[in-house]
């Protein structure tokens, strides 16, 4: 059906259906931005009943972890930038 935002991640995020719209619970709208078209395809978690919670490709990039940075020889290792979703 779709891909996972964080493949191989041992953590499963459980979403509270009370906080989501019916379209989001049914997988017809992005769980982040509510966009319906193109239909969301990236799995980012589950509902308590086991259904997948989906997000669009754009929002999946915001939710996926950043790759680790290699420290430079000239500089100390800096923490990776924090991705903040824009409302």
Q: Is residue 8 part of a domain?
A: yes
- For residue 52, which of 10, 9, 13, 11 has the smallest C-alpha distance? 13
Q: Are 24 and 1 in contact (CB under 8 A)?
A: no
CA distance linking residue 15 with residue 31, whole number of Å: 9
* pLDDT score of 63: 76
Q: pLDDT digits over 16-60, tens only?
A: 999 999 999 999 999 999 999 989 999 989 999 999 999 998 898
Q: Is residue 85 part of a domain?
A: no
Q: Is residue 18 part of a domain?
A: yes
Q: Is residue 27 part of a domain?
A: yes
Q: Is residue 83 part of a domain?
A: no
Q: What is the pTM of this model?
A: 0.63
* pLDDT score of 49: 94
The backbone torsions φ and ψ at residue 85, rounded to the nearest 5 degrees and listed phi first, read: -65, 140
Whether residue 75 is predicted with pLDDT greater than 90 in this model: the reply is no
Q: Is residue 39 part of a domain?
A: yes
Residue ranges making up the domain that contains 46: 3-63
Q: Are 46 and 54 in contact (CB under 8 A)?
A: no
Q: Is residue 30 part of a domain?
A: yes
Whether the bond into 38 is cis, omega within 30 of 0:
yes
Which value, to the nearest 10 degrees, does the dihedral of the CA atoms of residues 47, 54, 34, 49 take?
A: -20
How many domains are there within the chain? 1
* pLDDT score of 1: 42
Q: Is residue 35 part of a domain?
A: yes
């Amino acid at each position: 059906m779709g891909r996972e935002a964080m493949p191989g991640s041992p953590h499963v995020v459980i979403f509270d259906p009370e906080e989501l719209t019916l379209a989001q619970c049914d997988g017809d709208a992005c769980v982040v931005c509510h966009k319906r078209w193109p239909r969301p395809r990236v799995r980012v978690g589950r509902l308590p009943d086991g259904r997948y919670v989906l997000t669009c490709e754009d929002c999946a990039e915001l939710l996926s972890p950043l790759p680790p940075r290699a420290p430079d020889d000239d500089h100390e290792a800096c923490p990776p930038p924090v991705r903040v979703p824009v409302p």
